[in-house]
Amino acid sequence: MNHLILGILPYFTVIIFLVGIGYRFYIWIKAPQPGAITLFPAPSGGADSFFAIVKESLLFPGLFKGDRFLWAAAWIFHVTLALIIIGHVRVFTDFPGLWAALGINADSMSAISGGIAGVTITICALLLIVRRLAILRVREISSFSDFMIMLLIMAILATGNAMRFGEHFDLNMTRSYFSALATFSLTSSLMPANQMFTLHFFLAQILIMFIPFSKILHFGGIFFTQTIIKKA
């Protein structure tokens, strides 16, 4: 089982994710779009349109005007998620030279910031789930998968937080594991023998594989949809 999740599945995850996303983007680019359906106020094109699209995608100004509570929960959720993903770089490799040059203790820094981020995003995710259940106009458009995705994310966050706040987790273990995985030289002795890690990693892989086939794809699609309405 461990061998399956840690030794084989990751390759499938990467392939399914990349091919899936690439295929989806290809299909969208290929689909004919006769003209823009401009929604005003709209920039006149070129750099202005580009910045408007980037702004919409990063700050959600439309949502800010439309539903302030959702904006707060969703924006903090996404920004924290981005930070957490960036923070995960240290799971794969480390930059001791950089930390020394900056004069920071990377381990205690990431313990604090990672801890805060983990708690913050869990709260946001909870708020989003409660909102989906509590507000009729959201509940009546929610399908089973909308709840499942959130539950999956909650499980990933819970196992991640457990590692963060539980007994000390040795990142050197994951670093050597991932570098072996990347160089196709994985041996069973290099597989982390930590059940929490295995579970966390397994759930994350399920989510990643599901992205090209689910609404989570919106992180890429938003550029396409915004381009169509934000160009005069």
Which residues contribute to the site for another protein (CB under 8 A)?
27-28, 31-35, 37-42, 56, 60, 62-63, 65-67, 70, 74, 132, 135-138, 140-146, 148, 213-215, 217-218, 221-222, 224-226, 228-230, 232
Nearer to another protein, 57 or 110 (CB): 57
Q: Report, in Å, the least distance between residue 55 CB and another protein.
A: 12
Q: How far is CA 165 from the centre of its chain?
A: 21
Q: Report, in Å, the least distance between residue 28 CB and another protein.
A: 6
Nearer to another protein, 126 or 199 (CB): 126
Q: Report, in Å, the least distance between residue 199 CB and another protein.
A: 23
Omega within 30 of 0 (cis) for the link into 41: yes
Q: Report, in Å, the least distance between residue 69 CB and another protein.
A: 10
Q: How far is CA 105 from the centre of its chain?
A: 26
Nearer to another protein, 87 or 221 (CB): 221
Nearer to another protein, 27 or 101 (CB): 27
Q: How many helices (H) and strands (E) does the chain have?
A: 13, 0
Q: Report, in Å, the least distance between residue 57 CB and another protein.
A: 9
Q: CA of 199: how far to CAs of 2, 6, 54, 92, in Å?
A: 10, 10, 35, 17
Contact (Cβ atoms closer than 8 angstroms) between residue 123 and residue 81 = no
d(CA 151, CA 145): 9
Nearer to another protein, 108 or 143 (CB): 143
d(CA 53, CA 43): 10
